[in-house]
Structure 1
């Protein structure tokens, strides 16, 4: 992924919840399922897991960085025969405490210039996921 032409989707949002609470929603499988996708996630460096979308798609992932209540990164790989949809990327969540809760930055990097539809879909998708995350956080 050293291609300087690769693009990233970056979404930032403030949550009125402590980093500890947000961290739970990012790392507990039953909570991840409520805002992102069904999964077999374990918050452990090197853990390989899958995210399973409602549309039937499966993402193969691996935890590549974890610093509790601060940073979580994992690979986000979607196999497809169509190069416009096949994606090898990295998702990074960065949590920063604020006076009123937590600032969350989500970055998904690795989009090729020709993957305009996937890039746009990820941009819209992450906004939707973070709206669901806010609802999940309010519920516990």
Structure 2
């Protein structure tokens, strides 16, 4: 299994950014078209993102420092719900926040698609959490996620 790590700096405090990771309105402002979130260990993480039904659960919620989610795709044989793990680590930076995303447990063929997805979505998080409008999102991976 492989992993992907990336980060983005955001001109908003960790408390503001944190809400964009754990609330349906916050998450869908930058990633996904639909979300049902119960941000507590064992709570539901359901989001439809870029045409894929992402399913998992919250594993750790440490406001406003860290969110860990199990992650997979409903109906997928190589990345089923909960098969991988996404960790968001929020670090204060002066008047802003650095968000590091570490996505582990990815099957090697899925790494490039997830790398492209995080490269697309993290800048959108920066815009939304800073009070901007990232505009409508019609991004899709080059290879559909089965």
Scaled by the length of structure 1, what TM-score is found?
Answer: 0.83
- In 1, the alpha carbon distance for the partners of 2:22 and 2:77 equals 31
Which has the greater radius of gyration? 1
User: Which of 38, 46, 54 pairs up with 1:59?
Assistant: 54
RMSD: 1.8
Distance 1:98 1:119, change over 3 A: same
Give the CA deviation at 1:53.
2.5
- In 2, the alpha carbon distance for the partners of 1:79 and 1:98 equals 36
- In 1, the alpha carbon distance for the partners of 2:95 and 2:44 equals 34
The number of equivalent residue pairs is: 130
Q: Aligned pair 1:120/2:139, yes or no?
A: no
Distance 1:47 1:103, change over 3 A: same
Where do 5+ consecutive residues of structure 1 fail to align?
Answer: 1-5
Give the CA deviation at 1:46.
0.7
Give the CA deviation at 1:16.
1.4
Q: Aligned pair 1:16/2:11, yes or no?
A: yes
Where do 5+ consecutive residues of structure 2 fail to align?
Answer: 133-146
1:40 is paired with a residue of what secondary structure? strand
Could you list the per-position Cα deviations for residues 65-94 of structure 1 after superposition, in whole angstroms to 9, with x for gaps in the alignment? 1110111001001144564x6572000000
- In 1, the alpha carbon distance for the partners of 2:80 and 2:128 equals 30
Give the CA deviation at 1:30.
0.6
User: Which of 41, 46, 49 pairs up with 2:45?
Assistant: 49
